[in-house]
């Protein structure tokens, strides 16, 4: 079985945290962050092409009861922007409950900026996805 490359997105209104992994190593690594501006779809598309990404894993926010929120709608609308772009890339959602809190705890006093928290949160989202889908392969 050939290796698959993954890009995770922790989508926020100001920034998008990034993480990457492949299906052989199965370890998600923070990959920085991008400002969520008018160029974001193009920037993510370029990342997908440059790194030969097979699957984009998008953090899916819900409240503590598991219900959708305004942020859920924001993320869904964000993902719709990729529908008209011809990428041979699957886009999947992954629950992101409490990932920002976990990211802050992991980074502790090492936090330099909020973008680092977003990237760490993206790596948690991606690691959860890998463990749920590729643990025994």
In this prediction, residue 137 carries a pLDDT of 54
Q: What's the half-sphere exposure (Cβ side, CA atoms, 13 Å) at 31?
A: 21
- Our count of domains for the chain comes to 1
27 within 8 A of 123, measured Cβ to Cβ? no
Rounded Cα–Cα distance for residues 12 and 59 (Å) = 10
Residue 36's domain comprises 5-134
Rounded Cα–Cα distance for residues 3 and 26 (Å) = 10
Highest mean predicted confidence (pLDDT) among 8-17, 20-29, 91-100: 8-17
Q: What value does the mean pLDDT of the chain take?
A: 88
**Digit-coded pLDDT (tens) for 65-118:** 888 889 999 999 999 999 888 888 999 999 887 666 666 666 666 666 777 888
Rounded Cα–Cα distance for residues 52 and 14 (Å) = 26
- CATH number, domain of 118, equals 3.30.420.140
In this prediction, residue 10 carries a pLDDT of 95
């Amino acid at each position: 079985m050939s290796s698959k490359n993954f890009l995770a997105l922790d989508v926020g209104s100001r920034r998008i945290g990034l993480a990457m992994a492949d299906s052989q190593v199965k370890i998600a690594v923070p990959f920085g962050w991008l400002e969520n501006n008018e160029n974001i779809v193009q920037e993510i598309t370029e990342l997908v092409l440059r790194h030969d990404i097979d699957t984009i894993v998008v953090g899916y926010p819900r409240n503590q009861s598991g219900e959708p929120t305004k942020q859920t709608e924001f993320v869904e609308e964000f993902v719709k922007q990729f529908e008209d772009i011809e990428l041979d890339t699957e886009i999947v959602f992954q629950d992101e409950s409490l990932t920002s809190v976990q990211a802050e705890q992991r980074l502790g006093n090492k936090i330099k900026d909020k973008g680092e928290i977003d990237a760490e949160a993206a790596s948690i989202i991606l690691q959860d996805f890998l463990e749920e889908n590729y643990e025994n392969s």
